[in-house]
């Protein structure tokens, strides 16, 4: 009897211990399950918050941050290209920032005996304007100057070409200058590289041009020589903090009030024309002057322009020989891109200021991505 009672007490003790262990494990399991549920709820809340923010972030930056470096597509705002690596003169996206760097420009000979010029297909912007005798001269502007190109032929500087260069805070390369240009270089302490001081080092005479075109049409330079010279910083090579190029670019620029014009004849006077033809296959323009294609001697290929801009200005002879142009104030002109042309208005408030271009309705002119030709004609000139 006692033995049976003792066995019963042992069984009851074992049962009680087992019940205690079972209850504790069940409680821990419940707590773990509850914790998992709480974590899941918190995760859901975070995901919901992230999801609610995603559309807003997506509208501001279509390219996700993780894939931004893999994508070469430029950021855009209101259809305009907005990228820190954008070339401010062409809208093209480079693999490094250049907007704070001063461009370099050169006065390029455009005499019939001196063409074709060399290196001009690498320029971002080319100006053409009237000089003495009804002839024209070019100003080729380079945001970055390739080392491996020859540029020329280089000719003397006119004071209005300092104004063209000043629009971009550009350093000017030239060979001598008119008296008024010399006065203005001094007046504004404008940075220039004159071949008269550097012929034989930065500039040299090309033997073939000397033999076939004449000594006066033979002066050239190289990108490497100019870049090495500027690397020593003989003067300021970066823009001041208050300068910003005001050109805007779009891959699909809209022309306000435009009409189809696939052939554009820019006439500077009775005997001087530059004729542009729109190439639908490449969506840009090629040029012709002196009844010959406007080509680069380096490549023997036509020089191509995405944008054509014509500025009409009062032009007059001021000393019996040289020309002057009224390039401050306001005036009219034309803009052409993608085979479409439209009248525009221009304003410029000072000798060192930039041009501002708008359509007749006040809409700012937006350039297509690529190079630009700018022709400055007298009030009787224009396009047809």
CATH number at residue 327: 3.50.90.10
Average pLDDT over residues 24-45: 37
- Token pair, residue 178, equals 């008119």
- Same domain? For 104 and 48 the reply is no
- Same domain? For 48 and 99 the reply is no
C-alpha–C-alpha distance, residues 215 and 202, integer Å: 17
Average pLDDT over residues 197-219: 96
C-alpha–C-alpha distance, residues 366 and 125, integer Å: 15
Residue 15 has pLDDT above 80, yes or no: no
- Same domain? For 164 and 304 the reply is yes
Average pLDDT over residues 93-121: 96
65: in domain: no
- Same domain? For 97 and 40 the reply is no
C-alpha–C-alpha distance, residues 207 and 148, integer Å: 19
Residue pLDDT, tens place only, 232-288: 999 999 999 999 999 999 999 999 999 999 999 999 877 789 999 999 999 999 999
- Same domain? For 48 and 94 the reply is no
φ/ψ of residue 217, rounded to 5: -105, 20
**Structural domain harbouring 217:** 83-384
50: in domain: yes
DSSP annotation of 11 reads: H
- Same domain? For 334 and 206 the reply is yes
Q: Into how many domains does the chain fold?
A: 2
**In this structure, is the dihedral angle defined by the CA atoms of residues 225, 231, 236 and 241, taken in order, positive or negative?**
positive
Q: Are 276 and 120 within 8 A, CB to CB?
A: no
For the full predicted model, state whether its pTM sits above 0.95.
no
Q: Which residue has the tokens 């805007």?
A: 248
C-alpha–C-alpha distance, residues 61 and 69, integer Å: 13
- Same domain? For 116 and 5 the reply is no
Instruction: Give the residue with greater pLDDT, 138 vs 56.
Output: 138
Of the pLDDT bands very low, low, confident and very high (cuts 50, 70, 90), residue 73 is: low
Strands (E) in 206-246, as ranges, are 219-222
**In this structure, is the dihedral angle defined by the CA atoms of residues 28, 34, 38 and 39, taken in order, positive or negative?**
positive
Local structure of 217: helix, strand or coil: helix
266: in domain: yes
- Same domain? For 20 and 112 the reply is no
- Token pair, residue 229, equals 């010279």
Residue ending a domain, choose from 60, 94, 109: 60
Of 199, 201, 218, which Cα lies nearest the Cα of 152? 218
φ/ψ of residue 335, rounded to 5: -130, 135
- Same domain? For 187 and 336 the reply is yes
- Same domain? For 42 and 165 the reply is no
- Same domain? For 209 and 348 the reply is yes
């Amino acid at each position: 009897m006692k033995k049976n009672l003792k066995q019963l007490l042992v069984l009851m003790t074992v049962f009680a211990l087992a019940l205690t262990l079972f209850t504790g494990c069940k409680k821990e399991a419940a707590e773990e399950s509850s914790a998992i549920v709480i974590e899941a709820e918190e995760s859901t809340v975070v995901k919901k918050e992230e999801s609610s923010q995603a559309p807003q972030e997506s509208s501001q930056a279509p390219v996700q941050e993780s894939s931004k470096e893999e994508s070469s597509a430029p950021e855009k705002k209101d259809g305009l290209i907005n990228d820190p690596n954008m070339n401010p003169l062409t809208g093209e996206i480079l693999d490094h920032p250049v907007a704070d760097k001063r461009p370099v420009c050169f006065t390029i000979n455009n005499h019939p005996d001196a063409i074709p010029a060399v290196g001009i297909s690498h320029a971002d912007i080319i100006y053409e304007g009237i000089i003495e005798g009804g002839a024209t001269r070019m100003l080729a502007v380079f945001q970055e100057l390739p080392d491996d190109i020859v540029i020329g032929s280089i000719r003397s500087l006119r004071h209005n070409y300092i104004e063209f260069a000043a629009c971009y805070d550009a350093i000017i390369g030239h060979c001598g200058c008119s008296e008024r240009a010399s006065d203005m270089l001094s007046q504004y302490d404008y940075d220039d590289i004159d071949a008269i001081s550097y012929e034989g080092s930065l500039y040299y005479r090309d033997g073939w041009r000397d033999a076939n075109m004449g000594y006066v049409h033979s002066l050239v330079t190289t990108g490497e020589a100019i870049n090495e010279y500027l690397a020593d910083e003989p003067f300021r090579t970066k823009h001041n903090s208050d300068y910003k190029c005001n050109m805007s670019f779009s891959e699909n620029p809209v022309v306000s009030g435009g009409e189809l014009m696939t052939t554009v004849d820019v006439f500077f006077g009775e005997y001087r024309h530059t004729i542009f033809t729109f190439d639908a296959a490449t969506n840009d323009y090629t040029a012709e002057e002196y009844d010959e294609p406007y080509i680069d001697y380096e490549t023997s290929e036509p020089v191509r322009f995405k944008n054509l801009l014509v500025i009409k200005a009062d032009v007059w002879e001021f000393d019996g020989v040289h020309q002057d142009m009224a390039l401050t104030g306001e005036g009219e002109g034309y803009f052409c891109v993608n085979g479409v042309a439209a009248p525009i208005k221009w304003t410029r408030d000072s000798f060192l200021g930039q041009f501002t271009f708008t359509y007749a309705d006040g809409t700012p002119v937006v350039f297509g991505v690529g190079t630009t030709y700018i022709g400055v004609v007298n009030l009787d000139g224009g396009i047809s």
